[in-house]
């Protein structure tokens, strides 16, 4: 008689309690994940933001004479609309590859498609 009761408990545990426990664990994990998602504020302004650009003072310049550098000067590629700072410690290029700004060199494949502005 005791053996039948032990077998009944094992079958009941395997057939009913294990699936219910797995289902409850899955539901609780999903609820914890949903509740832990927080609304994060947007990232701070990036100078290359083309949708809501800040007040920019565009400057007239010629690539034949010089490529000026200063802490508030940026070069903007008119092809891909990416902006790069004129002073940098690492080499960078715009998304389309037209504009290149490095620690020692600034250049463009097509300088007519590059604008200089101050922020």
pLDDT at 53 over 80: no
In this structure, how many other beta carbons lie within 10 angstroms of the beta carbon of residue 17?
11
**Shared domain check, 73 and 34:** no
Query: Does some domain include residue 49?
Result: no
Query: Does some domain include residue 51?
Result: no
Per the structure, the complete domain to which residue 99 belongs is given by 57-118
Residue 81 φ/ψ region, left for φ over 0, alpha for ψ in the -120 to 50 degree band, beta for the rest:
left
- In DSSP notation, 97-113 reads S-EEE-SS-EEESSGGG
**Shared domain check, 75 and 32:** no
pLDDT single digits (tens) 2-46? 777 778 777 777 777 777 777 777 877 777 777 666 665 655 555
In this structure, how many other beta carbons lie within 10 angstroms of the beta carbon of residue 58?
10
Contacts of residue 86, Cβ cutoff 8 Å, sequence gap at least 6: 67, 68, 69, 70, 73, 74, 75, 101, 106, 116
Query: Does some domain include residue 15?
Result: yes
**Shared domain check, 74 and 106:** yes
pLDDT single digits (tens) 71-94? 889 999 999 989 999 998 899 999
pLDDT greater at residue 65 or residue 114 = 114
What is the value of pTM for the model shown? 0.55
Query: Does some domain include residue 45?
Result: no
Query: Does some domain include residue 88?
Result: yes
**Shared domain check, 114 and 61:** yes
Q: What is the mean pLDDT of residues 56-74?
A: 87
Count: domains in the chain: 2
């Amino acid at each position: 008689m005791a053996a039948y009761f032990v077998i009944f408990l094992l079958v009941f545990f395997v057939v009913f309690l294990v699936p219910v426990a797995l289902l409850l664990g899955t539901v609780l994990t999903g609820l914890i994940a949903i509740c832990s998602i927080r609304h994060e504020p947007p990232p701070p302004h990036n100078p290359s933001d083309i949708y809501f650009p800040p007040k920019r003072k565009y400057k007239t310049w010629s690539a034949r004479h010089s490529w000026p550098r200063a802490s508030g000067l940026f070069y903007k590629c008119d092809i891909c609309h990416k902006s790069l700072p004129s002073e940098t410690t690492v080499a960078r290029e715009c998304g389309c590859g037209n504009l290149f700004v490095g620690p020692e060199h600034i250049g463009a494949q097509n300088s007519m498609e590059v604008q200089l502005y101050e922020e």
